[in-house]
Amino acid sequence: MALLDKITEKILKQIDESGFRQEGAFNLRHNGIALCHGDSEHIKIKKKEDRPGIDVYIDSNTKGEQVHIPVVVDASGMTDVVYNDFFVAEGAEVTIIAGCGIHNSGCNESRHDGIHSFHVAKGANVRYEEKHYGEGEGSGARVLNPVTNIYMEEDSVFTLDTAQIKGVDSTQRETNISMGKGAKLYVVEKLMTHDNQSAVSNMEVQMNGEGSSAQIVSRSVAKGSSKQVFHPKAVGNAGCHAHVQCDSIIMDHAEVSSIPEINAKHLDAAIIHEAAIGRINDEQLVKLRTMGMTEEEAESVIIDNFLN
């Protein structure tokens, strides 16, 4: 069992709410190196031989297990690139808990680029949780650029629950999803930026199979002079259903852009998009102030409820 320092333990508490433990199937990456890892009876983790990263094999007998694969970067000036592939067998049921935290106490940029690809077989059910977090007293930027590729076979289910908590100076998210017959996709994206931070989220969902469906909800809060851009694209190549919803709260001098794109290439493709950007509701603010809260406390309650 590897001994973890205080910074690593603190970051793990932020990005893994279920609680990281060195038991079952897990892999902890620290400053570009696999610090510790373990297998379970039905889940095996193997180090890639051709490039940095791991292959995770989840067999069909997996029912209700969790896999924890957090990343911690606390070396200033480091760029960590990792390629992780997940092979989920037919009928498996699994929760994969990832996330990356950067602690930067120096003056150079620290960056993590995680490229995750999920190969989800027929009838499998996957929940993927990913949290991003930045901290540190240094002036160096904390940068996270995740790429998520999801390949869904017939009747599979995939839930993507992703959140950027705070402290990330720059992020560009690229999410690509291909769906087979009867596949079901659920996405919840939560994002908060402040100061001069920037965030770009590009997502493309290709619904290729008859009866496939997608429900995508994005919620964000932009403070300070931060900038956010959302570009969700849903393409119906067969008889399918999709609902894309983007809601944002804008504050101070921030800027938010929502650029929806829906494309029906089949007579029975039904795709809906909703987008809303606005300030905090004044009536809610006044009501909470009458309960004895300061303006800052009231804003915090409203934001927490909006994102959660």
**Domain assignments of the chain as residue spans, ordered by start:** 6-278
Which residue type, as a one-letter code, is found at position 159?
T
Burial class (CB within 10 angstroms; exposed 0-12, middle 13-18, buried 19+) of 248: buried
> Which residues, other chains included, contact 56 with Cβ-Cβ below 8 Å and sequence gap of 6+?
25, 27, 43, 44, 45, 67, 69, 84, 85, 86, 87, 96
Query: What are 202-228's pLDDT values in tens digits?
Result: 999 999 999 999 999 999 999 999 999
pLDDT tens for residues 244-253?
Answer: 999 999 999 9
- How confident is the model over 70-88, as pLDDT tens digits? 999 999 999 999 999 999 9
Helix (H) or strand (E) holding 127: strand 125-135
Looking at residue 18, its pLDDT comes to: 87
- Comparing CA positions, the residue from 172, 167, 179, 114 lying closest to residue 141 is 167
Question: What pLDDT tens digit does each residue of the chain (308 aa) get?
Answer: 788 899 999 999 999 988 999 999 999 999 999 999 999 999 999 999 999 999 999 999 999 999 999 999 999 999 999 999 999 999 999 999 999 999 999 999 999 999 999 999 999 999 999 999 999 999 999 999 999 999 999 999 999 999 998 899 999 999 999 999 999 999 999 999 999 999 999 999 999 999 999 999 999 999 999 999 999 999 999 999 999 999 999 999 999 999 989 999 999 999 999 999 999 988 888 898 899 999 899 999 999 999 88
Measured from the Cβ of residue 134, the count of other Cβ atoms closer than 10 Å reads: 26
Of the candidates 239, 237, 244, 197, which has an alpha carbon nearest to the alpha carbon of residue 219?
Answer: 244
Cβ neighbour number for residue 154 with a 10 Å cutoff: 17
State how far the Cα of 46 lies from the Cα of 42, in Å rounded to an integer. 13
